[in-house]
Structure 1
Amino acid sequence: MGESALQDRLARIERRQRILLVLLVVPYFVGLGEVLDYWVAGVLGAACALVVLVVGVRRRRRTPAAGR
């Protein structure tokens, strides 16, 4: 198996891990909404989503363009 094939396989595995992480985190926000308030949980969720978006953009910009 060539290195590019391994890189593609690793990228698919990482995407699956992110999807599973999101699927596991969402119920915690719903539970937080039950405990606190849905408005507060929504604000916390939006803040976390913004942080994840910023980190993702920064990681994307650091990777070399040749790898895309």
Structure 2
Amino acid sequence: MPAYDYRCRTCDTRFEVRRGVDEPEVPVDCPRGHGATSRIFTPVAVGGAASAPATPAASGGCCGGGCCG
């Protein structure tokens, strides 16, 4: 179940709510009881293993020798 970040427009409290993907826009009250909240866009970090660096191409030819200046 995804988590969505919200901010209360009354007291500026930021909080997280877990809810289904089909209901992110359903109104939610802040933990302090205020109803004026708005959802905050939070970028998602994508991680993973880094692949090995690419093998450099063999030099040769004009551009490989640095004469394309």
TM-score past 0.5 threshold: no
Normalised TM-score (structure 1): 0.23
Compare relative contact order (CA 8 Å, sep 6+) and give the higher one, 1 or 2: 2
Higher share of residues assigned strand: 2
Q: Which has the larger radius of gyration?
A: 2
TM-score under structure 2 length normalisation: 0.23
